[in-house]
Amino acid sequence: MPGRPRSWFFRVALVAAALLRPEQRARPLAARHGPRPRSQAPGSLKCFLGALNMEMTEVTGVSLKRGSVAVEDNDRVAPAEEAKRQKILDHCLTKSQSELEHVSPPSGVNVPEPPEAVSAREGTKNSDVQLEEEEEEEEDGLSEEGEEEEEAESFADMMKHGLTELDVGITKFVSSHQGFSGILKERYSDFVVHEIGKDGRISHLDDLSVPVDEEDPSEDVFTVLTAEEKQRLEELQLFKNKETSVAIEVIEDTKEKRTIIHQAIKSLFPGLETKTEDREGKKYIVAYHAAGKKALAKVRTAADPRKHSWPKSRGSYCHFVLYKENKDTMDAINVLSKYLRVKPNIFSYMGTKDKRAITVQEIAVLKITAQRLAHLNKCLMNFKLGNFSYQKNPLKLGELQGNHFTVVLRNITGTDEQVQQAMNSLKEIGFINYYGMQRFGTTAVPTYQVGRAILQNSWTEVMDLILKPRSGAEKGYLVKCREEWAKTKDPAAALRKLPVKRCVEGQLLRGLSKYGMKNIVSAFGIIPRNNRLMYIHSYQSYVWNNMVSKRIEEYGLRPVPGDLVLKGATATYVDEEDVNNYSIHDVVMPLPGFDVIYPKHKISEAYREMLTADNLDIDNMRHKIRDYSLSGAYRKIIIRPQNVSWEVVAYDDPKIPLFNTDVDNLEGKPPPVFASEGKYRALKMDFSLPPSTYATMAIREVLKMDTSIKNQTQLNTTWLR
């Protein structure tokens, strides 16, 4: 920006720095972020604020008097805090474009300081579909005057219309201890998830070395070319400019160096040929297109690893352990795909992991060498790849045995005796295997209501539930889209209000624009299948939660005749003769469907009454559309965690880590040392859970608290004060 005084940039930097938490300010920007987008010039204000925007995705949150909630996955609905922080960034950008002399946050928005307490963000459990928002879309920010005031409503006010546990059938506890307070995810590093593989071993990142393979190319192949040279070669390869060749000067003119450059170009940019030329006394490697159809075929298969040469003696899949911070699994796969220049579908994994956490899991990728993967450790932040091995087979969803959690509850109020009672109960009895709050959404329209309308074949209601205005924490553009829809019922007009077209609302509106209002079924079908099924699975979860609460209220924590238990994969009834052969940990209850049986006691009638009240026939759960037919499943009503351990530690600084991560151990960092006394006390918990269970519900049992955002916010909201 020509003519801008240096002092102006200094003021911008001060405001921006105020938004970063202290531990983030201590690190240089280069150490906190990955590569800068090409459109941002080094040192530009947009680049600086763009980097700041990346920092601010590390959300703090809500301060609570009693209890906090763990989350296992990331929600597609953005938290209000993110919208507020985005406003501050957008405000700075707007002022820079308007040539204003001072930068300050917009009215009604305070510069956030690190709160003393934070709660977890809620998320969608194990979603296989990532609804991404492109950078250009995210930067739209404040588009109209007055939006600052419209979005100034506090987080507490927005969440007063949200769900509580009572709304989704979560009402019972199994333990008798007195509950106490604790703060979860004050730092995302307070929540660590290690995958438990199909062999029963807990995944750890403890080896960054690459398997020795004489047939692997030298690492120099990946580092010999500069970023600028790679960009020029890629543009040449993909015919993005009019150049017919790219010349790379050989600074260190040796045969070995020239050979490495030749190998690098041919390996990384299939379809290009190379030759050595002398120009004015200097050596150049010149890359150019090979002639004819052969070159075009190479370009078309450049991103297909199956077409590359691969040693026959080596397994086709490189398995590795992925350590990631503050990224969900699909985001991580997309980042790796981008850097490797391959499609995401060549990666496989056994389960998706939470975003706001540190997670460690096994990944497999088709015909990408360990050397190439290990090279990413030098250029990616918040990721580490290691424990490489070559295997014959990929990984499959559901193959894992579960997850091991290391969780810190900070600033606990419970006495040592209360903590002891709570943890002993968790270890010996367990917790009710409820579906957690993140299964049902965070706004005034729960996902189970949409699922119920789908099962009822009420497609107009499905459309209205997804698109109608609602109270709750939503981004401003969604609010405007819903208002436009309510006013005009014009899908094209409502779609124009959305900068983000790949959200569920945008996809449905595109479908309505394409197929018309009389073909809502086809319009709804544009939404990815996993997202559509999420709604009906949410309804099943809603029914199951309510029924298990009734079962425990009616019969307590003991098996009774008429209960269901599993023998292999088959459900059978408990009868008078063998009731003493089972414990409450053997009892299962069905998710409604056409291929399950129901208990032979009062709860069977309760299922029927609940579905009848929802205008559904429990004896006919097949839908006209096959995708929406529910076969049902069985789920244990009580889960007893394994490998349970805990300790209470004293600390003074709420920002210090209270245990070492895998990366800390790799770097030789000594474990934290705790004093006998401190300002605060924390409960560090370790436990293992099987797949499809919610750590949220285990922590709920320890704290004896409602885990809904609505309830927590009403207790004591100090968010962004």
| Catalytically active residues, by annotation | 354
CA distance 222 to 363: 22
Closest-CA residue to 290 (of 301, 305, 275): 275
Q: Three-state SS for 659?
A: coil
The alpha carbon of 369 is separated from its chain's Cα centroid by a whole number of angstroms, namely: 26
> Where does residue 41 rank: exposed (0-12), middle (13-18), buried (19+ CB within 10 A)?
exposed
Report the sign of the C-alpha dihedral through residues 141, 142, 147, 149, in that order: positive
CA distance 502 to 492: 15
Q: Which amino acid would we find at residue 96?
A: S
Q: Tell which residue, 339, 315, 314, 341, has the closest CA to residue 395.
A: 315
Q: What is the CB-side half-sphere exposure of residue 106 using CA atoms within 13 A?
A: 23
- Which residues share a beta bridge with 571? 566
Encode 35-84 in three state secondary structure: CCCCCCCCCCHHHHHHHHHHHCCCCCCCCCCCCCCCCCCCCCCCCHHHHH
DSSP 239: T
Count the Cβ atoms, other than its own, within 10 Å of residue 444. Answer: 18
78 CB-near residues (< 8 Å, 6+ apart): 474, 475
What token pair was written down for 457? 């074949």
- For 13-46, what is the HEC assignment? HHHHHHHCCHHHHCCCHHHHCCCCCCCCCCCCHH
What b-and-e string marks burial along 45-57, b requiring 16 or more CB atoms within 10 Å of the CB? bbbbbbbbbebbe
64 close to 183: Cβ distance less than 8 angstroms: yes
Spatial CA neighbour of 400 closest among 362, 434, 345, 344: 362
- Residue 134: strand, helix, or coil: coil
Between CA 93 and CA 50 the distance in angstroms is 10
Q: What value, to the nearest 5°, has the Cα angle with vertex 638 and ends 686 and 182?
A: 40
Residue 345 DSSP class: G
Length of the chain: 721
DSSP code per residue over 510-562:
HHHHHH-TT-HHHHHTTS-HHHHHHHHHHHHHHHHHHHHHHHHHHH-SS--TT
Q: Which of 369, 330, 364, 361 is nearest to 347 (CA)?
A: 364
As a three-state string, the secondary structure of 267-323 is HHCCCEEEEEEEECCEEEEEEEECCHHHHHHHHHCCCCHHHCCCCCCCCCEEEEEEE
Q: What are phi and psi of 249, to 5 degrees?
A: -70, 135
* CA gap 608, 618 in Å, rounded: 6
- What's the start-to-end Cα distance of the chain, in Å? 34
